[in-house]
């Protein structure tokens, strides 16, 4: 079981963890990339003057290859070549993100102590069943102990920065309890709005006409939601309406909506939504770091 844990960890750290998703570029060719003297010999990238070496880059690519092989993927097949090409690109972008996070950690005075790192390593060793199974898992993914230790340090540092960036987000905020009717055309929406304004029941018309399958049977009820969850057009309308009020027709990329607000109150955000808000906040911060960074890539 722990072989899979360590394999998965190596893959996640190499091609993007839950809180680090590499921003895509063009898919590189499946062959091993090489840096030349004209493009930064021995370097995969430079981030704000800090190098990412080809040696470190290729080592992470090799770990991903080992993981794919452990999973039974034929790297010579079309699927194998495509997945490896994508992984190569993701490895580089994740390494760039990790460097940006490391630089930010220094600025924020965020660090991981040796005691914390060693404690986490021992937890993983114990979960694997001891030193021997743990070492076998490392060998299976062609990962040295030093590489594993660095990967774990990167993960812990990323989590620490993530928590620092998102720590001020409150889990209690204003939320709206609303229902809506989603319609395919403005003409149909105008017909339904006219019937609503004439006094017909919102839930009945939602069940009859709404194209939102997830809420149609409940009369269009989408429950409580905070800002940052619904399409911006729908969200802006919902938070501006009074309780009981029905909106005008709202156009979004999904179609044409009619919204009615049922309740408004301060309440705890659902765990899934709260974590999504934290992810969005962090990724917006990371994108800002990327946009303000000087990044040179020497791998194509």
pTM of the model: 0.68
Q: Tell me, yes or no, whether 277 lies in a domain.
A: no
CATH number, domain at 83? 1.10.4030.10
Coil, strand or helix: which one is 221? strand
CA distance linking residue 108 with residue 106, whole number of Å: 5
89 with 128, same domain: the answer is yes
pLDDT tens for each residue of the chain, 300 residues long: 444 444 444 444 443 433 333 333 333 333 333 333 345 679 999 999 999 999 999 988 888 888 888 888 888 888 888 888 888 899 999 999 999 999 999 999 999 999 999 999 999 999 989 999 899 888 887 788 998 999 899 999 999 999 999 999 989 999 999 999 999 999 999 999 999 999 999 999 999 999 999 999 999 999 999 988 899 999 999 999 999 999 999 999 999 999 999 999 999 988 988 998 899 999 999 999 999 999 999 987
For residue 258, being part of any structural domain is answered with yes
Burial pattern 21-47, b for ≥16 Cβ within 10 A else e, equals: bbeeeeebebeebebeeeebeebbbbb
Counting Cβ atoms within 10 Å, is residue 214 exposed (0-12), middle (13-18) or buried (19+)? exposed
Q: Is residue 112 part of a domain?
A: yes
Q: How far is CA 255 from CA 67, 84, 163, 210, 235, in A?
A: 42, 38, 36, 11, 14
H/E run at residue 223: strand 221-225
241 and 157 within one domain = no
pLDDT at 64: 85
- Give the CATH number for residue 210: 3.10.50.40
Q: What residue numbers bound the domain in which 180 lies?
A: 173-268
Whether 288 is in a domain gets the answer yes
In angstroms, the CA 21 to CA 187 distance is 41
Distances (CA, A) of 286 to 24, 98, 102, 159: 14, 10, 12, 13
Are residues 162 and 41 part of one domain? Answer: yes
**Together in a domain, 138 and 151:** yes
Same domain membership, residue 157 and residue 209: no
SS3 assignment, position 257: strand
- Regarding whether 289 and 217 lie in a shared domain, the answer is no
Q: Are residues 66 and 124 located together in one domain of the fold?
A: yes
Structural domains of the chain, count: 2
């Amino acid at each position: 079981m722990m072989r899979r844990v360590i394999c998965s960890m190596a893959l996640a750290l190499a091609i993007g963890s839950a809180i680090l998703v590499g921003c895509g570029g063009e898919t590189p060719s499946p062959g091993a990339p090489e840096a030349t003297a004209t493009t930064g010999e021995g370097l995969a990238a430079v981030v704000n003057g800090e190098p990412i070496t080809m040696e470190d880059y290729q080592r992470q690519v090799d770990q991903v290859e080992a993981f794919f092989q452990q999973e039974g993927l034929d790297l010579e097949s079309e699927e194998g070549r495509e997945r490896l090409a994508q992984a190569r690109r993701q490895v580089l972008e994740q390494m760039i993100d990790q460097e940006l996070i490391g630089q930010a950690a220094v600025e924020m005075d965020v660090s991981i102590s040796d005691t914390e790192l060693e404690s986490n390593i021992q937890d993983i060793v114990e979960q694997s069943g001891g030193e021997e199974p743990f070492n076998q898992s490392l060998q299976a993914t062609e990962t040295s102990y030093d590489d594993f230790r660095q990967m774990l340090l990167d993960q812990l540092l990323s989590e620490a920065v993530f928590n620092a960036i998102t720590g001020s987000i409150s889990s209690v905020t204003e939320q709206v309890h609303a229902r809506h009717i989603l319609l395919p055309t403005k003409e149909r929406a105008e017909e339904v709005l006219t019937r609503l304004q004439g006094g017909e029941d919102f839930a009945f018309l939602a069940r009859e006409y709404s194209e939102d399958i997830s809420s149609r049977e409940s009369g269009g009820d989408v429950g409580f939601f905070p800002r940052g969850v619904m399409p911006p057009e729908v969200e802006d309308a919902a938070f501006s309406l009074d309780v009981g009020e029905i909106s005008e027709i709202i156009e979004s990329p999904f179609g044409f909506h009619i919204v009615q607000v049922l309740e408004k109150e301060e309440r705890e955000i659902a765990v899934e939504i709260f974590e999504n808000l934290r992810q969005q906040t962090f990724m917006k911060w990371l994108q800002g770091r990327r946009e303000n960074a000087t990044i040179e890539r020497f791998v194509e």
